[in-house]
Amino acid sequence: MTKQDVINNIMVNYRNHGVSLEWLEEMIHSGEEQGFSYQTIYTGLRMALGSNTEEQELFTVSEIAEAMGATEEEILQEIEKLKAEMEEAGEDTEKHFKQNGPMQRFIIPPGGFTS
């Protein structure tokens, strides 16, 4: 993924939510200064923007792991823990967590990960 890919994808999906090119470039620059890859910057922006705008975003376990600086196994453990807590509270986890064939994708509810 390139910087231009990040800009194109975010602007297509979030321009109508008030995301400006200037703000986006500042966020990308901040991620670059922290040494993040463009894929990590993109995933982090999608997580933040999806949560703030209530747009549904789907993430693979590997995308979440990279963005959170964790292993895929750690993310899977955290997801299972979160699912169990939600089920115990009587919430329907099917609208938040989905497995799609051999690739796993999950919808993380706003505030789902606090690390």
**Are 18 and 50 within one domain?**
yes
**Are 62 and 51 within one domain?**
no
**Are 84 and 48 within one domain?**
no
Residue 11: domain span:
1-55
Pair 65, 71: CB distance under 8 Å: yes
**Are 63 and 51 within one domain?**
no
| Residues in the chain, total | 115
**Are 75 and 103 within one domain?**
yes
Give the count of domains, the chain: 2
Among candidate residues 9, 26, 55, the one where a domain is terminated:
55
pLDDT along the chain (115 residues), means of 10: 95 93 97 95 93 86 87 91 92 78 60 60
**Are 114 and 63 within one domain?**
yes
Distance CA(109)–CA(29), nearest Å, equals 27
User: How far is residue 28 from each of residues 19, 31, 86, 109, measured CA to CA in Å?
Assistant: 13, 5, 34, 24
Identify the pLDDT of residue 85: 94
**Are 100 and 114 within one domain?**
yes
Among candidate residues 36, 55, 74, the one where a domain is terminated:
55
From start to end of 4-108, where are the E strands? 59-60, 97-100, 103-106
Torsion of CA 92, 101, 79, 52, to 10 degrees: -70
